Amino acid sequence: MQGRTWKGANPEALDVIRELLVRRGAVEDKDLSNPHEAWRVRIDRVVFTGYRSGTIYCTGGNIPELPFLYASIAEVLTRGGANPSGPSGL
């Protein structure tokens, strides 16, 4: 599945999404070298990054739960009033 970008997450939504991903088995990267990153988590080879600007990026990959995770992130952002971007990330 292709990578995806979401924009417009407030700080609370970023926290909710990070917690959701961790509950689904993601492992947090503790060493963030980019000061713009709020968090980074990995599930197998798929990397999700939350930025302080409110952008969330996923590299995409071949894990079975990825469509569910994409839908869950979009739902959190929609509830928070954000406007999730399309599958192309634009």
Task: Go through the domains of the chain in sequence order and give each one's CATH number.
Answer: 4-79 (3.30.310.10)
> What percent of the chain is predicted at pLDDT more than 70?
88
Sequence-ordered alpha helix ranges (H) in the chain: 11-23, 66-79
Q: Tell me the mean pLDDT in the region 43-57.
A: 96
> What percent of the chain is predicted at pLDDT more than 90?
80
Statement: residue 53 has pLDDT above 90: yes
Beta-carbon-side half-sphere exposure of residue 72 (alpha carbons within 13 Å) = 15
Task: Label residue 33 by pLDDT band (50, 70, 90).
Answer: confident
Q: What kind and span of H or E run contains 76? A: helix 66-79
Backbone angles phi, psi at 67, to 5 degrees: -60, -40
Statement: residue 82 has pLDDT above 80: no
Q: Residue 41 corresponds to which tokens in the numbers above? A: 């988590």
Tell me the β-bridge partners of 57.
Answer: 5, 49
pTM score, two decimals?
A: 0.87
Q: Residue 44 corresponds to which tokens in the numbers above? A: 């197998």
